[in-house]
Amino acid sequence: MATGSLRVNKVVFIGAGNMAEALVKGMVASGVCEADRIFVTDVRPERLAFFEKEFQVKGFANNVVAVMKADVVVLAVKPQLLGDVLEEIKGGVGNSLVISIAAGISTGWIEKGLGEGVRVVRVMPNTPALVRAGAAALCGGRWAKEADLATAETMMAAVGLAVRVPENSMDAVTALSGSGPAYVFHLMEAMIEAARHAGLDEAIARKLIYATVSGSAKLAEATGAEPAELRRRVTSKGGTTAAALEVLEEKAVYHAYLGAIAAAHRRAKELSGG
């Protein structure tokens, strides 16, 4: 979680959607940036009203007006709308740092849209950011400076883990932690279904599953032990875990995961034109 103070005066989020909501919430709660220095824009008046009521930040219906008031611009619209937004704001960006969270959009593409010399940082967040337990990777564009990366890192650390990677790792990050929550939810869906088949009370089963998933991650992180070793420690010969793992082995689930993540990586590359 964030500890440092944001090295900017004013931040504007272009697009007041789910990700902007997570970031604004985290930034305000962690003290990284005061609410009166955060602005949001959106085409939906109800989203602006929500942000103003919920977080006491100022909403703008006009992107250009809002951008001119800020020194950090966060691009938080869907990737397919980004081209139009860049065209709209390019005259107003000036010296601002531009942080993009749009999946699959390269810093080069944004630099091309906004013009020579614009400092761009690209971030790949994930949805647990909504509960300040996200995992984000970030990289700088051609003109981004160390201070710009530090600013983006501080903002992302307000909603979870933030790490720096080279831009050519961003598609792999997308496949791993960007899409990753879906793989974990998929496992949780199966566990819920299995609990139902076993006649377990559903509310209790959910509690047990959620605690098991987050507890396992915490155990791996706290001990630093390899997941394979932790798995071996709960698998006694001839026991219940061994019976389950035999089925997973038989069905080649481990290899299915490798294939699934490789497919996500290929798709991320296709979408980002890499």
Ligand X SMILES: NC(=O)c1ccc[n+]([C@@H]2O[C@H](COP(=O)([O-])OP(=O)(O)OC[C@H]3O[C@@H](n4cnc5c(N)ncnc54)[C@H](OP(=O)(O)O)[C@@H]3O)[C@@H](O)[C@H]2O)c1
Token duo for residue 59: 């909403």
Is 15 a binding residue for ligand X by CB under 6 A? The answer is yes
The smaller minimum CB distance to ligand X, of residues 173 and 205, is found at 173
Using the rule CB under 6 A, give the single segment among 15-23, 30-38, 231-239, 254-262 that binds ligand X. Answer: 15-23
Is 126 a binding residue for ligand X by CB under 6 A? The answer is yes
Q: Which residues contact 140 (CB under 8 A, 6 or more apart)?
A: 107, 119, 120, 121, 122, 148, 149
Is 107 a binding residue for ligand X by CB under 6 A? The answer is no
The residues pairing with 55 across neighbouring beta strands, listed in sequence order, are none
Cα→Cα distances 72→13, 37, 97, Å: 9, 10, 5
The count of residues interacting with ligand X (CB under 6 A) is: 27
- Do residues 118 and 143 lie in contact, with contact meaning Cβ atoms separated by under 8 Å? yes
Q: C-beta of 179: minimal distance to ligand X in Å?
A: 9
Tell me, residue by residue from 25 to 44, as one string, x for binding to ligand X by CB under 6 A and - for no binding.
----------------xxxx
Is 17 a binding residue for ligand X by CB under 6 A? The answer is yes
The smaller minimum CB distance to ligand X, of residues 17 and 92, is found at 17
Contact with ligand X (CB under 6 A) among 32, 33, 101, 120: 101
Tell me, residue by residue from 41 to 70, as one string, x for binding to ligand X by CB under 6 A and - for no binding.
xxxx--x---------------x-------
Is 139 a binding residue for ligand X by CB under 6 A? The answer is no
Q: C-beta of 129: minimal distance to ligand X in Å?
A: 8
Q: C-beta of 197: minimal distance to ligand X in Å?
A: 30
Q: C-beta of 42: minimal distance to ligand X in Å?
A: 4
**Measuring CA to CA, which residue among 168, 184, 200, 188 is closest to residue 268?**
168
Is 19 a binding residue for ligand X by CB under 6 A? The answer is yes
DSSP sequence for 187-255:
HHHHHHHHHHHTT--HHHHHHHHHHHHHHHHHHHHHH---HHHHHHHT--TTSHHHHHHHHHHHTTHHH
Is 127 a binding residue for ligand X by CB under 6 A? The answer is yes
The H-assigned helical ranges of the chain are 18-30, 45-55, 63-67, 82-89, 107-114, 146-157, 170-173, 180-197, 202-223, 227-233, 240-250, 253-272
Is 77 a binding residue for ligand X by CB under 6 A? The answer is yes
Is 102 a binding residue for ligand X by CB under 6 A? The answer is yes
Q: Which residues bind ligand X (CB under 6 A)?
A: 14-20, 41-44, 47, 63, 76-79, 81, 85, 101-103, 124-127, 178
